Amino acid sequence: MLRVQAGDLGAFEQLVERFQSMVHGLAMSILRRPEDAEEAAQDAFLKLFRARGQFDHQRALEPWLLRIAGNACRDKLRRRKSVELPVLRSEAGERDPLLDVPDSRAAVGAARQHVDHTVRGVLEQLSERVRLPLELKYLRGFTNQQIAEALGISLSNVKVQLARGKDILSSRLQGVYER
């Protein structure tokens, strides 16, 4: 970061390469749209570069970057247009052509895909406050500390939200698989 502060663009490029997937993963979890996540990640790195003079070398870079990225995502959410494009649906009676594509994977793969789809569906029904920590922890591989820094909440709050989210998922999925 010292080199970045001195204006070394090569060092900044290395920094982006090192943290790009983490920042993009955070943005995808918050924004849910690839194009928005990419834009927010770019905004985060641009903001980091512009604020490079404010970086305190006594602190770690990652938490500062996660905070910047979380703020960039929240900014993007605020700017997001309230009118969504309608989802195109086929007319009644039309068969989805994807149903006719043979699945070359074994039954185990199909079962795993079904479970994954079901879990993701239940996850989508959770409030953002509960869903985000779960996604960041179990789908993006963030530590509890990274989640706290990215979302701007306390570490104890992260732990509470993770426990609550796991309880909710467990109860909802138990109902699905007992049928």
Query: How far apart, in whole angstroms, are the C-alpha atoms of residue 124 and residue 178?
Result: 21
Q: What is the domain class of 107-177 according to CATH?
A: mainly alpha
How confident is the model over 105-129, as pLDDT tens digits? 455 555 566 666 777 787 888 888 8
List the Cα angle 107/108/110 in 5-degree steps. Answer: 65
Contact criterion met (CB below 8 Å) for 31 and 37: yes
- Buried b / exposed e over 59-93, threshold 16 CB at 10 Å, is eebbebbbebbbbbbeebeeeeeeeeeeeeeeeee
Q: Please report, for the chain, the start and end positions of each structural domain, with discontinuous segments joined by +.
A: 2-79, 107-177
How confident is the model over 8-61, as pLDDT tens digits? 999 999 999 999 999 999 999 999 999 999 999 999 999 999 999 999 999 999
Architecture of the domain delimited by 2-79: Orthogonal Bundle (1.10)
How confident is the model over 55-92, as pLDDT tens digits? 999 999 999 999 999 999 988 988 875 434 444 444 45
Q: How high is the pLDDT of residue 67?
A: 93
